[in-house]
Amino acid sequence: MHSSSRLPLPLLLLLTSLWISPLSNAQSTLPQGWVTPHPAFRIIGPLYAVGMQDLSVFLITSDEGHILINTGLQDSTRHIRNNIESLGFRLEDVRIMLTMQAHWDHTAAMAEIKEITGAEVWATPEDARVMEDGGFSDAHFGGRQTFRPVEVDRIIRQDDVITLGDLVITVHEHPGHTEGSSSYTFEVAENGRTYDVGIINMGTINGGKRIVVNPTYAGVAEDFATTYNKQKQLTVDVWVAAHNSQFDMQEKYQPGQAYDPETFVDPIGYIRAIERLESAYLEVIADELDN
Ligand SMILES: [Zn+2]
């Protein structure tokens, strides 16, 4: 039997870098939309999309630096930088980085972008734990590192207000998809109208996750139920989510389309999307109780 102390040094080095390889090997089987670049575009006011076709990365700009929400996969930094620069902004001006859900498809480039920008990473307590151990303590995908760990500089909680320049952004804890999932809301005034904008982490249930029978984590059923209720009570005119497909980006926006603050106004679609997820949740529970 091998003990790690008897492994030659090169092999030890190889093993310590193994957290990268499961992801690299998996690249070919990843959803196409996770690896296909998408040109940057303005969603509304200071909010821009700078991510991949189906992995949302959001830039919220101010005169005193920017907020970046999510990354893509571990090699997405270059694309995010190109997208930010195509809008006339600089990656180096990102001051705060936020998560919506500490899953590797949204967080894997965060450590690298933090190094480049010196930005602070702010996260809810449970997402912070997972960010700092590289996904190891994730209730569903954990037990191994799935992305490069990143130090969290500040803990944020329900109703905290993030300010940067003239930005005023409210934090919402929406647990379930991950224990620390979170959403962000703010107002945008344009065209003599005030729009309520929501960057919403949707309560989707990853395959194999358990809700009531041998639950993936204690309290997951209550978390999802509370999140659906809280989300339905939010006033939202414009909404986006961690995956572009969740808010039908491609039906609402074609690359090159002229900016219009009305493009992503969709309060009814927002409620319907939550109701669909809530129904799916009830079906998962019914299946668990049946089997
Ligand atoms: Zn996820």
**Which pLDDT tens digit goes with each residue over 127-181?**
999 999 999 999 999 999 999 999 999 999 999 999 999 999 999 999 999 999 9
How close is the Cα of 15 to the center of ligand 1, in Å?
26
Residue 13 within any structural domain of the chain: no
Structural domain count, the chain:
1
How close is the Cα of 164 to the center of ligand 1, in Å?
27
Residue-number span of the structural domain to which 186 is assigned: 34-290
How close is the Cα of 103 to the center of ligand 1, in Å?
5
Pick from 203, 181, 197: nearest CA to 267:
197
* CA 93 to mean position of chain CA atoms: 20
Single-letter amino acid code for the residue at 105: D
How close is the Cα of 165 to the center of ligand 1, in Å?
30
Please, is 2 exposed, middle or buried when counting C-beta atoms within 10 Å of its C-beta (0-12, 13-18, 19+)? Answer: exposed
How close is the Cα of 107 to the center of ligand 1, in Å?
10
The CATH number of whichever domain residue 79 belongs to comes to: 3.60.15.10
How close is the Cα of 181 to the center of ligand 1, in Å?
9
How close is the Cα of 182 to the center of ligand 1, in Å?
12
Residue 186 within any structural domain of the chain: yes
Residue 29 within any structural domain of the chain: no
Residue 7 within any structural domain of the chain: no
Residue 43 within any structural domain of the chain: yes
**Which pLDDT tens digit goes with each residue over 187-235?**
999 989 999 999 999 999 999 999 999 999 999 999 999 999 999 999 9
- Of 26 and 68, the one with more pLDDT: 68
Look up the pTM and report it.
0.89
Residue 118 within any structural domain of the chain: yes
Average pLDDT rounded to a whole number, residues 259-279: 97
Residue 16 within any structural domain of the chain: no
How close is the Cα of 2 to the center of ligand 1, in Å?
36
Residue 144 within any structural domain of the chain: yes
How close is the Cα of 183 to the center of ligand 1, in Å?
13
Distances (CA, A) of 270 to 54, 209, 239, 245, 277: 18, 24, 7, 13, 11
How close is the Cα of 40 to the center of ligand 1, in Å?
22
